[in-house]
Amino acid sequence: MPDPRQLARKLLPWYDRHGRHDLPWQQDPTPYRVWVSEVMLQQTRVETVIPFFKRFVRRFPDVAALAAASENEVLHLWSGLGYYSRGRNLLAAARQVVAERGGELPDTPEALRALPGIGRSTAGAILALAHGRRAAILDGNVRRVLARYFLVREWPGGSAGAARLWQLAEICTPAKRVADYTQAIMDLGATVCTAREPDCERCPLAPDCGARREGLAALLPARRPVARRRPLRRICMLLVLRDGGDVLLERRASRGIWGGLWSLPEFADRESLLAWCVARLGRAARPERLPVLRRSFTHFDLDIEPWRLRAGAAAGRVEEAGRVWYNGHTPSSIGLPAPVRRLIEGCLHGGEGPGQESSDGKDGPLRRARPRSRRSRPPAVAR
């Protein structure tokens, strides 16, 4: 096995020549900016994060500004990035830091990990990138590099695989140039040692890479031992339209998918949806059924059966606590899931909502639902 203590020596010259040095969070890498970027980068590609990061830190330039924001403001800026619990945790942690530490992020791993949404790897990234302190990280890119280079065959999601990779990450992290090393190993995983079709010819670690030697680069990191089919859930959503392009929205519960965002009224089945229409608009209510759309999340697939109801003058009767009218032609600044926003836009422009390719488990496009084949396998979640 290669000497883990020599990894940085091989990697840093490559980073100096080929690494990424102009990412927005690298300019003035304060603990706050590093924290925000690391949270956004969880399960999300760099190119996707960049515009969201710029907008977010422009609106909330420091911990105090974020702590003073409402959840709705934060989720509005997060809309389209997916995994909304990350935004809620950022807000909760900022408020805790202001209340307990006067707005200054802690600088120890234990204190950082005590904040909502900060785990071992995120804490390590903040310490390494913002403070230059020796602290290991183990995000998806780093896991892939270490698993291949050191030929770790265990599944990284299991206790044995995770323990082995963390052990290697700790040993590999150097005492000097910690920030550069941390960015370097992430860059190598993101641009060279990629999940699909790794470019081994360009890799500075290739001569000693165990996976390359054994021809296993495409198979490592190991997959989950037993692939399980994700369950399929089904809901109905109602687009209540009134004159002028207004659409009825309701606030979702803070937990669950799209937690805390505004969305269309949701029902477990069409009978409940039709009963709701009759109860509020009378028997004259005639909602129109639209094609079923499918969303793929990390752990399940969701079929959305949308219904459209043009309520006209009777729409005033559906106003209740926790609901608002949202104008799709002149949208307001509220947190709205991107798939729901696209569904609204499609209906307002006379279509039946989007029917595009498969999503990646965050806020990618919707697709028309098709019956599952017995042999079909759910798509992998993109990182």
**Both tokens assigned to 264:** 């269309």
| Predicted local distance difference test score (pLDDT) of residue 355 | 43
**Both tokens assigned to 333:** 């600044």
Q: Which of 44, 80, 36, 83 is nearest to 60 (CA)?
A: 36
Q: Which of the residues 38, 47, 170, 345 is marked catalytic?
A: 38
**If pLDDT is split at 50, 70 and 90, which confidence band does 29 have?**
very high
SS3 assignment, position 168: helix
Of 123 and 315, more confident: 123
Segment 217-231 shows an average pLDDT of 85
Rg (CA), the chain: 24
| Predicted local distance difference test score (pLDDT) of residue 343 | 84
Please tell me the least confidently modeled range out of 197-201, 251-255, 354-358. Answer: 354-358
Written as one letter, the residue type at 264 is L
Segment 187-202 shows an average pLDDT of 96
Residue 319 has pLDDT above 70, yes or no: no
| Predicted local distance difference test score (pLDDT) of residue 381 | 32
Residue 360 has pLDDT above 70, yes or no: no
H or E element in which residue 248 lies: strand 246-251
Query: How far apart are the C-alpha atoms of 80 and 82, rounded to whole Å?
Result: 6
Q: Which domains does the chain have, with CATH numbers?
A: 4-219 (1.10.340.30), 232-368 (3.90.79.10)
Query: How far apart are the C-alpha atoms of 318 and 327, rounded to whole Å?
Result: 16
| Predicted local distance difference test score (pLDDT) of residue 338 | 79
Residue 197 has pLDDT above 60, yes or no: yes
Please report the DSSP string for 119-160 in residue order.
-HHHHHHHHHHHH--------HHHHHHHHHHTT--S-TTSHH
Query: How far apart are the C-alpha atoms of 329 and 245, rounded to whole Å?
Result: 6
pLDDT in tens, 88-112: 999 999 999 999 999 999 999 999 9
Residue 283 has pLDDT above 50, yes or no: yes
Please tell me the least confidently modeled range out of 11-15, 76-80, 147-151, 313-317. Answer: 313-317
Q: Is the pTM of the predicted complex or chain greater than 0.85?
A: no
| Predicted local distance difference test score (pLDDT) of residue 361 | 41
Residue 5 has pLDDT above 60, yes or no: yes
Q: Are 263 and 252 in contact (CB under 8 A)?
A: yes
Written as one letter, the residue type at 214 is E
| Predicted local distance difference test score (pLDDT) of residue 357 | 33
Residue 331 has pLDDT above 80, yes or no: no
| Predicted local distance difference test score (pLDDT) of residue 297 | 83
Phi then psi for residue 130, to 5 deg, are -95, -30
Please indicate whether residue 47 is annotated as part of the active site: no
**If pLDDT is split at 50, 70 and 90, which confidence band does 359 have?**
very low
Phi then psi for residue 53, to 5 deg, are -60, -45
When the pLDDT of each residue in the chain is averaged and rounded to a whole number, the result is: 87
**Both tokens assigned to 141:** 């890119």
Q: Which stretches of 27-67 are DSSP H helices?
A: 31-41, 46-59, 63-67
Query: How far apart are the C-alpha atoms of 251 and 100, rounded to whole Å?
Result: 30
| Predicted local distance difference test score (pLDDT) of residue 89 | 96
| Cα distances (angstroms) measured from residue 54 to each of 48, 293, 305, 321 | 11, 32, 35, 34
pLDDT in tens, 297-309: 878 889 999 999 8
| Predicted local distance difference test score (pLDDT) of residue 59 | 98
Please tell me the least confidently modeled range out of 323-332, 344-353, 361-370. Answer: 361-370
Residue 250 has pLDDT above 50, yes or no: yes
- Angle, nearest 10°, between helix axes 178-191 and 7-18? 70
